[in-house]
């Protein structure tokens, strides 16, 4: 469309369109402006502008406020960052100071632990233990080093009675130590409560001081109580106790007192039976009357014998007929004939004269007593048991005391030596034949005898050894103690130490042997026939193995749980094996298996876990001196060296089969040699093993000091005594077997002779040698007769010697001739009868002439020192090699045992699984059969 054709805009009139400049308030034309100037438009525009201005100002203020807020926030952020920086620095400083404090505390704690360990190690190293071993008081120091021995020969027991209940053991020991007795020579063995509400203590000490102090302390006051002291011999543990020999100097003579007998006639046999039942056993005039039916003596005929009668016996001789009538109610009574021609007073006088005429000691005879049974007893007291024994032998030979009308009297004299022992009845029953053989083997019952009282109702048997000959009693006592000691069994379990346990009863029923537990020494002992004991030993070993495999679960505290998590569990597993110890922290329980040894180590670790302050067990990179490997379950001993617990335990147990004591540390390639403290050994070994080591150390010490300590010569006797110089011997008596021995020559005592004289007296060859030496020392003044071999001496005269055997001897050549020929011989052979005896030339020969003794002694000392040094080094190497070999062997055995247990456990689990599977199949089969019987069957039609 062309521009000419476009529509044209209409023309506006003046004032018709608004003026935009006016509206903006800046029209310069004023009234001349073509456009309309509307005041409202201008006011509206002004209002709009004002509103826009207000909005602009508001926006500006808002921006300003935002900027101020942003600035404030930035400032706050800067301040916060500054505060955070300062706080971080403060925290870092606090952390640094806390770390310093922890380091200081750790250092102080480490120093305290080190100081505590050092102090504890010194205390434990200085600690000793005293124990009665085989009758001797033995004091052992670290490593089982025997420091002191008070032998049983030199010991005594002191029993203190009337002690208050609150008396402490240190106070009891103080009664003796305050008097100057060395504590190493004093041992408190037992303190027990008595029935009267007091205490009774038994102390073993040396006899020299114990007897004197017991006499001096007797009846002293202790807390308002007067103490009583009794001294006795020291016996071995479990030995027979000495019975109190009462009235050993009193001889009791008993016989039947004189009595009369009556016959009472009755009207019928019914009355006879009624009278016997009514009168028999009643007492009349102090006598228990015996009433019985009158019967004639066998094989004898008595004229006018009345069978319808009663016989009344044991009536006193002075009984009157009236009293007897009142007693029996019978009128027809007849006295039987008697021969009462003496009185008791005259008989006792004759008895006294009869004994005194044999030059026996005077005795005092008590007033005789007649009991209800008509027995008269006289107690004659002598000055000594020997005098009473002489009187006893004389009266035994007499057989009859006619002046007392005693045809068969009997005598009782207590044995001067009595010892008793009480054992369980089952123990006696298992050894009944052995006890019987021992009793029948005694030939001289008066010298020594054994009396056995079976008390089955009380469950015990009482064994008494008694006699008058002390050496014989002692030898028998040792045999009884050896038999009552039983056979030891390796291993210990408290379940088998109870006499009423099912296993002990079944073992007795099956094998006839009795198993008994010694709770003090933690030992099991078997009693019975030798073959039965060997069979029972295998049964006990199998039961011990079975009990060792059983598990034991202990509930732990939270403190103990943490301890076992940190170190206790690993130590248990290292000692017992990984499968023998398990910890459940959620239930706070620990489970172990392995018998008494496992229980011992668990109890030790439980005690250690409850201790508030535990010493550090850090090994600081050390290796075990035994296995030369990293240390597991470390055990640190006093010298500072650490060992594997299992290795150290095996090393200690290896000493049971060796003679190397004391037990020392083998750290630093066996150069340490510090003895291992006894408390450390006690923590590592069960009590039974510890006690066995004590005994082995003691016997080893005795065997290495044969010139100082010697065993008693009686077989089976375990006592030892201390020897002395032969120049100052003493007679010693064994407290167990009572044999006497000379401490100088270790032979039987020989009072009145020196040791050399005793040996010479017992050795004929030595006597001959001594005689020959004495003859040579007399310078040919004494020779032997060639015919009778006795000594002849020439003091003067010719060379013709006449011996008491009748031989005529030439002194020069010792030829024997007749009286007529001897002078011709001396003239022809020796040139006269006074020819002197040619002297034997003496040669002075000194094989050590010109020897430098000082040089030789120095060389000998150097050689001896070199031998000692080489011997010690060799012993150390051998000890280390034996320990390592023993540990390796024990580990191999433990591995084999562990493998065996695993195999047995796997076999048991497989058998259990098969049994359960078989049970499940049987149950399913039974269920199917039951369903078939209950529901019947279905028939399927095709």
Cα–Cα dist 315/256, whole Å? 12
The two tokens of residue 885 are 């070999």
372 Rama class: left (phi>0) / alpha (psi -120 to 50) / beta: alpha
Per the listing, tokens 């004189």 go with 258
480 with 465: CB under 8 angstroms? yes
Q: Which two tokens stand for residue 671?
A: 């150069």
Q: Which residues in the chain come in under a pLDDT of 50?
A: 1-3, 244-245, 359, 612-618, 839-853, 936-942
d(CA 608, CA 645): 15
DSSP assignment of 676-689: PPHHHHHHHS-HHH
Angstrom distances, CA of residue 753 to CA of 728, 731, 750, 758: 12, 12, 6, 6
Q: What 3-state DSSP class applies to 736?
A: coil
Count CA atoms within 13 Å of residue 888 on its CB side.
10
| pLDDT tens digit sequence for 15-71 | 667 777 776 667 777 777 777 776 777 677 778 778 888 888 888 888 888 888 888
Query: What angle in degrees, to the nearest 10, is found between the helix axes of 530-549 and 595-609?
Result: 40
Other residues' Cβ atoms within 10 Å of the Cβ of residue 847: 5
DSSP 308: S
User: What span, in angstroms and rounded, lies between the C-alpha atoms of 650 and 671?
Assistant: 20
State residue 942's pLDDT score: 31
pLDDT value of position 1:
46
**350 neighbors 403 (Cβ within 8 angstroms):** yes
Which are the contacts of 446, defined by CB distance < 8 A and separation ≥ 6? 467, 468, 469
Tell me what pLDDT residue 617 has.
47
Please tell me the predicted confidence (pLDDT) of residue 609.
78
User: Beta 589-593 vs 581-584: how paired, if at all?
Assistant: antiparallel
Question: Phi first, then psi: what are they for 686, rounded to 5°?
Answer: -65, 160
CA-to-CA distance for 942 and 367, rounded, in angstroms?
Answer: 123
Three-state DSSP at 270 gives: helix
Query: Which pLDDT score, from 0 to 100, does residue 760 have?
Result: 65
Helices 645-653 & 687-703, crossing angle to 10 degrees?
40
Rounded Cα distance, 219 and 201, in Å: 15
In whole angstroms, give the CA distance from residue 70 to residue 76: 10
Give the side-chain half-sphere CA count within 13 A for 587.
9
pLDDT the model gives residue 104:
87
List b or e across 221-243, with b for residues whose CB sees 16 or more CB atoms inside 10 angstroms: ebeeeebbbebebbbbeebbebe
Closest CA to 138 of 709, 663, 680: 709
d(C-alpha 644, C-alpha 672), whole Å: 17
pTM of the model: 0.55
Q: Strand, coil or helix: what is 901?
A: helix
Q: What is the pLDDT of residue 876?
A: 61
- Is-contact 231 242, C-beta < 8 A? no
pLDDT, tens digit, for every residue of 231-288? Answer: 776 655 555 555 544 567 777 877 777 788 888 888 888 888 988 898 888 888 888 8
CB-based contact 668:628 (threshold 8 Å): no
Quote the CA–CA distance of 590 and 602 in Å, as a whole number.
9
Beta-strand relationship, 375-381 and 364-365: antiparallel
């Amino acid at each position: 469309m062309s521009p000419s054709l476009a529509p044209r805009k209409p023309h506006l009139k003046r004032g018709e369109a608004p003026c935009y400049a006016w509206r903006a308030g800046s029209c310069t034309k004023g009234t001349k402006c073509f456009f309309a100037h509307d005041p409202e438009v201008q006011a509206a525009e002004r209002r709009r502008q004002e509103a826009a201005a207000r909005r602009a100002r508001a926006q500006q203020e808002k921006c300003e406020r935002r900027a101020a807020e942003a600035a404030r926030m930035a400032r706050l952020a800067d301040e916060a960052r500054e505060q955070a920086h300062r706080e971080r620095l403060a925290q870092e400083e606090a952390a640094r100071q806390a770390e310093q404090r922890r380091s200081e505390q750790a250092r102080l704690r480490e120093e305290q632990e080190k100081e505590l360990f050092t102090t504890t190690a010194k205390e434990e190293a200085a600690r000793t233990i005293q124990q009665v071993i085989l009758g001797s008081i033995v004091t052992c120091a670290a490593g089982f080093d025997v420091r002191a021995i008070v032998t049983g020969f030199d010991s005594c027991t002191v029993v203190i009675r009337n002690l208050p209940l609150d008396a402490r053991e240190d106070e009891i020991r103080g009664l003796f130590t305050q008097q100057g007795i060395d504590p190493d020579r004093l041992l408190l063995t037992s303190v027990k409560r008595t029935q009267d509400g007091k205490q009774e203590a038994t102390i073993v000490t040396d006899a020299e001081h114990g007897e004197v102090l017991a006499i001096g302390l007797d009846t002293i006051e202790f807390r308002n109580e007067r103490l009583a002291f009794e001294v006795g011999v020291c016996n071995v543990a479990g030995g027979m106790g000495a019975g109190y020999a009462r009235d050993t100097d009193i001889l009791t003579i008993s016989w039947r007192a004189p009595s009369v007998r009556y016959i009472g006639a009755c009207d019928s046999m019914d009355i006879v039976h009624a009278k016997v039942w009514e009168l028999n056993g009643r007492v009349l005039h102090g006598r228990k009357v015996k009433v019985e039916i009158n019967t004639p003596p066998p094989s004898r005929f008595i004229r006018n014998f009345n069978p319808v009668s009663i016989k009344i016996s044991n009536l006193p001789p002075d009984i009157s007929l009236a009293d007897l009538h009142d007693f029996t109610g019978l009128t027809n009574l007849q006295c039987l004939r008697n021969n009462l021609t003496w009185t008791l007073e005259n008989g006792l006088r004759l008895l006294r004269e009869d004994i005194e005429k044999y030059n026996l000691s005077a005795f005092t005879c008590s007033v005789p007593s007649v009991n209800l049974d008509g027995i008269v007893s006289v107690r004659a007291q002598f000055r000594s048991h020997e005098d009473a024994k002489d009187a006893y032998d004389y009266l035994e030979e007499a057989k009859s005391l006619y002046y007392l009308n005693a045809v068969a009297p009997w005598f009782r004299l207590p044995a001067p030596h009595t010892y008793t022992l009480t054992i369980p009845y089952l123990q006696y029953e298992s050894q009944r034949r052995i006890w019987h053989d021992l009793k029948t083997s005694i030939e001289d019952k008066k010298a020594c005898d054994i009396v056995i009282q079976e008390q089955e109702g009380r469950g015990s048997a009482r064994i008494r050894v008694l006699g008058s000959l002390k050496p014989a009693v002692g030898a028998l006592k040792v045999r009884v103690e050896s038999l009552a000691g039983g056979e030891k069994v390796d291993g210990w379990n408290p379940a088998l130490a109870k006499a009423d346990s099912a296993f002990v009863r079944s073992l007795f029923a099956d094998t006839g042997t009795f198993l008994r537990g010694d709770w003090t020494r933690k030992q099991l002992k078997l009693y019975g026939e030798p073959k039965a004991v060997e069979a029972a030993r295998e049964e006990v070993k199998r039961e011990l193995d079975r009990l060792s495999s059983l598990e034991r679960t202990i509930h732990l505290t939270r403190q103990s749980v943490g301890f076992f998590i940190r170190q206790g569990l690993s130590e248990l597993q290292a000692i017992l094996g990984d499968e023998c110890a398990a910890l459940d922290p959620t239930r706070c329980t620990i489970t172990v298996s392995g018998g008494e040894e496992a229980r011992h180590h668990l109890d030790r670790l439980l005690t250690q876990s409850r201790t508030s302050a535990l010493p550090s067990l850090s090994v600081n990179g050390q290796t075990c001196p035994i296995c030369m490997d990293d240390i597991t379950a470390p055990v640190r001993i006093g010298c500072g060296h650490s060992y594997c617990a299992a290795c150290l335990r095996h090393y200690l147990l290896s000493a049971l089969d060796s003679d190397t004591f004391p037990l020392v540390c083998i750290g630093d390639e066996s150069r340490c040699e510090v003895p291992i403290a006894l408390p450390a050994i006690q923590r590592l070994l069960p009590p039974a093993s510890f006690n066995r080591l004590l005994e082995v150390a003691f016997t080893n010490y005795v065997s290495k000091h044969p010139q100082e300590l010697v065993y008693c010569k009686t077989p089976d006797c375990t006592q030892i005594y201390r020897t002395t110089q032969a120049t100052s011997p003493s007679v010693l008596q064994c407290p167990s077997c009572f044999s006497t021995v000379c401490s100088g020559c270790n032979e039987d005592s020989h009072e009145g002779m020196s040791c050399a004289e005793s040996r010479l007296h017992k050795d004929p060859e030595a006597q001959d040698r001594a005689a020959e030496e004495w003859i040579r020392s007399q310078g040919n003044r004494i020779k032997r007769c060639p015919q009778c071999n006795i000594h002849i001496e020439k003091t003067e005269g010719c060379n013709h010697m006449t011996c008491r055997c009748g031989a005529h001897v030439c002194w020069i050549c010792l030829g024997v001739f007749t009286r007529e020929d001897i002078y011709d011989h001396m003239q022809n052979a020796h040139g006269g009868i006074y020819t002197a005896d040619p002297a034997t030339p003496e040669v002075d020969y000194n094989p050590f002439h010109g020897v430098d003794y000082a040089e030789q002694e120095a060389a000998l000392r150097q050689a001896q020192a070199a031998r000692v040094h080489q011997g010690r080094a060799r012993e150390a190497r051998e000890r280390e090699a034996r320990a390592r070999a023993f540990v390796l062997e024990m580990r191999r055995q433990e591995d084999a045992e562990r493998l065996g247990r695993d195999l047995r456990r796997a076999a048991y689990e497989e058998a259990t699984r098969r049994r359960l599977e078989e049970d499940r199949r049987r149950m399913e089969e039974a269920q199917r059969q039951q369903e078939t019987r209950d529901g019947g069957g279905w028939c399927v039609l095709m």
